[in-house]
Amino acid sequence: MELKRTALYDNHVKCGGQIVDFAGYELPIQYVGISEEHHSVRNKVGLFDVSHMGEVLVTGKESLSFVQNLVSNNVKSLVNNQVLYTVMCYENGTVVDDLLVYRMTEDKFFLVINAANIEKDVKWIQKQGESFDVTIENQSDSFAQLALQGPDAQGLLQSFVDFDLTEIEFFNFKESVSINGIEALVSRTGYTGEDGFEIYSKPEDASMLWDLLVEAGAMPIGLGARDTLRFEACLPLYGHEISDQINPLEAGLSMFVKLDNDDFIGKEALVKIKEEGITRKIVGLEISKGIAREGYTILVGEQEIGHITTGYKSPTVGKSIALALIDKTHAVMGNNVLVQVRKKQIPATIISKRFYKKNYKK
Amino acid sequence: MKVLENLLYTEEHEWLKVEGNTAYFGITDYAQNMLGGIVYVELPDEDDELEKGENFAVIESVKAATDIIAPVDGTVLEANEDLDDSPEKINESPFEAWIVKIEISDASQLEGLMDAKAYEAFCAKEA
């Protein structure tokens, strides 16, 4: 498959980005280094190109009931200009994808999905839409997306807009914002555990917007630090903590799954799973030595009890930590387990997966 | 990129400082730059037997684990335990932060390694 480039490819090269293949896109894994970029977002402000993310527009008079049926969270609770984090599930309760739902109006919703899942998701969404009076458009190639994240994000962006940014509250958005004359949709959302914004613009405007924000002091951040940041904040990544083999209750996402609300695809299965009790769950681990990478086996004695879903030496906490999917009977805080790291079995302890306290402006 | 004169180099971007039948072993400036921030080194144990071409240690950067390949047959005399506490020393001074000291079992295997000039040319071709 031919690799795609986002509208910001030349900007990445110019900023010294080390380009890799990610979900079919040529994107920078890092610029100056993952740790430095990571700390910059935690302490100041960083800028990400997330244009590879997919955007799906749902319009039509049954939009609200359609989206409510599609996803697990309570879409009906949304007011205009509000954003919702949720998952969409298969009938068996496992996850098609996680996504953000933007409500423009009752008959217009904007869904933001993972790059690697665009094709699969769009097919799925269109199939579900057949029985509703809605129009579903894959607009992924019509948007560039930049994420400006970190404690200084608001201060930096404020100088380029003509209204008070505090008007956009956490998980809210504003359309047709002028950023130094460039039109964009701006939401106070992100994937780092810090305050910040996600900015959707036309692809042809993205390069100018990028340069504007970088020149104002935002450090370009690659995919490497995007992953370490979301990991520390315990934000799931599709294919790791959630997948078509893992349901949201196992992943610890029950606050985004409203089983006492309207029906949605997968609800019946999830109600049953909840009644019977989950058999596996995502936990935090602290590893005594080395680094536990995705896929490594976890043992108690000789018995395999699960695997690592993501693991790093945490740049903020300084410890070797991991998220792991393990048998629930062993998922007790403080329990000791072993991680098979190549030929050796390394002791690890189950800890809270709140590795890092999120700094959202709520 | 820094290359030191009196060392031998492998195509895996490792260096050997040979002293009689023993040698200090580490990774080159080119290698540490490619790996980025090093956060952990899994060292072999003393007396571990090395077989040319086999991985015997692992360097973990933030993003990934990289196998370290034995350049010659030999035995581990000493592992640099400083790296347990300060793996970043490999980034800071790759030619001082040796990983292991080894005893070479077959000195003729050194003949296949590159000198500084050949290694520089090799890197230029890789880049």
Chain B contact for A342 (CB, 8 A cutoff): yes
Question: Which chain A residues touch B39 with a CB distance below 8 Å?
Answer: 291, 313
pLDDT band at residue B121 using 50, 70 and 90 as cut-offs: very high
Question: Which chain B residues touch A228 with a CB distance below 8 Å?
Answer: 62
CATH number, domain A54-127: 3.30.70.1400
Pick from A323, A324, A293, A320: which is nearest to A307 by CA? A324
Q: What is the pTM of this model?
A: 0.93
Q: In angstroms, rounded to a whole number, what is the distance separating the alpha carbons of residues B71 and B9?
A: 9
- Give chain A's residues under pLDDT 50: none
Overall average pLDDT of the B2-31 stretch:
96
Which residue in the set B36, B58, B62 is minimally distant from A313, CB to CB? B62
pLDDT above 90 coverage of chain B, percent: 90
**Residue A339: predicted pLDDT:** 98
**Residue A361: predicted pLDDT:** 86
**Residue A173: predicted pLDDT:** 98
**Residue B63: predicted pLDDT:** 84
Q: In angstroms, rounded to a whole number, what is the distance separating the alpha carbons of residues A167 and A80?
A: 14
Query: Can you name the CATH fold of A4-51+143-232?
Result: Gyrase A; domain 2 (3.30.1360)
User: Do B40 and A34 make contact, defined as CB atoms within 8 angstroms?
Assistant: no
Model confidence over B50-89: pLDDT tens digits?
999 999 999 999 888 999 999 999 999 999 999 998 999 9
Q: Which residues numbered 192-231 in A keep a CB inside 8 Å of some CB on B? A: 224, 228
The C-alpha of A185 sits at a distance from chain B's nearest C-alpha, in angstroms, of: 32
User: Do B42 and A228 make contact, defined as CB atoms within 8 angstroms?
Assistant: no
**Residue B1: predicted pLDDT:** 85
Model confidence over A27-79: pLDDT tens digits?
999 999 999 999 999 999 999 999 999 999 999 999 999 999 999 999 999 99
Chain B contact for A293 (CB, 8 A cutoff): yes
Chain A residue closest to B42 (CA)? A290
Question: What domains can be seen in chain B, in order of their start residue?
Answer: 8-126 (2.40.50.100)
Task: State the burial class of residue A38 (Cβ atoms within 10 Å of its Cβ: 0-12, 13-18, 19+).
Answer: buried
Chain A contact for B65 (CB, 8 A cutoff): yes
Q: How would you classify residue A160: left for phi > 0, otherwise alpha for psi between -120 and 50, otherwise beta?
A: alpha
Asked if A54-127 and A280-351 have one fold, the answer is no
How many Cα atoms are found within 13 Å in the side-chain-facing hemisphere of B33?
Answer: 10
Query: Can you name the CATH fold of A280-351?
Result: Elongation Factor Tu (Ef-tu); domain 3 (2.40.30)
| Token couple for A236 | 């799931």
Sign of the dihedral through C-alpha A72, A74, A80, A85: negative
Chain A contact for B120 (CB, 8 A cutoff): no
**Residue A37: predicted pLDDT:** 97
Chain B contact for A291 (CB, 8 A cutoff): yes
| Token couple for B93 | 């001074």
**Residue A343: predicted pLDDT:** 87
**Residue A308: predicted pLDDT:** 98
Q: Number of residue pairs across A and B with CB atoms under 8 Å?
A: 34
Name the residue ranges covered by the structural domains of chain A.
4-51+143-232, 54-127, 280-351
For every residue of A265-292, DSSP letters joined together read TTHHHHHHHHHH--SEEEEEEEESSS--
**Residue A50: predicted pLDDT:** 98
**Residue B64: predicted pLDDT:** 87
Q: Are B86 and B93 in contact (CB under 8 A)?
A: no
Q: How would you classify residue A100: left for phi > 0, otherwise alpha for psi between -120 and 50, otherwise beta?
A: beta
